[in-house]
Amino acid sequence: MKDGIKGWKKAGYSTVGDQALLDALIAVNKNNFADFIVAEDDARKLKNCTFVDFRDEAEYKKSHVRGAKHVDYSNMFSKPMMEELNKSNSLVIVHDVTAVAGVIASTLKLMDYPDVYILE
């Protein structure tokens, strides 16, 4: 969808905010999930590291990792966001809910982003 999750909802498709769904996606990737976790110092050593903060704007403005790009979770996977994220960069996902960060990281990996991590 051109406008990400907002476009999906606007088109009339249902969305599910069920923790069980998030847990199921994480379970599919459970062998690799721990490999996604990285500390900030280690992340900064990665080649072409880009921090992407998917928390809401208020949380981002309150406190964020230096240099992080902000993408509201509801705009995740919108065409402009996808064009901005470079597949040759190491992406470090920032979100307060580990399960959500895991879903984002897993989805980006499925979309052929080779180096995706979750900030510890």
pLDDT digits 0-9 by tens, 50-97: 999 999 899 999 999 999 999 877 777 777 777 778 889 999 999 998
* Strand positions, DSSP E, the chain: 37-38, 49-53, 69-70, 90-94, 116-119
37-119 topology per CATH = Oxidized Rhodanese; domain 1 (3.40.250)
Residue 115 pLDDT more than 80?
Answer: yes
Q: What is the mean pLDDT of residues 116-120?
A: 94
CA dist., res. 9 & res. 49, Å (int): 32
* Side-chain half-sphere CA neighbours of 114 within 13 A: 6
Answer whether residue 2 shows pLDDT above 70.
no
Higher pLDDT, 111 or 96: 96
Q: How confident is the model at residue 1 (pLDDT cuts 50, 70, 90)?
A: very low
Q: What is the 3-state secondary structure (H, E, C) of 94-109?
A: ECCCHHHHHHHHHHHH
User: What's the predicted TM-score (pTM) here?
Assistant: 0.72
Q: What is the pLDDT of residues 19-50, one digit of tens each?
A: 666 666 566 555 456 778 999 999 999 989 99
Instruction: State in Å, rounded, how far the first CA of the chain is from the last one.
Output: 30
- Give the domain ranges of the chain: 37-119
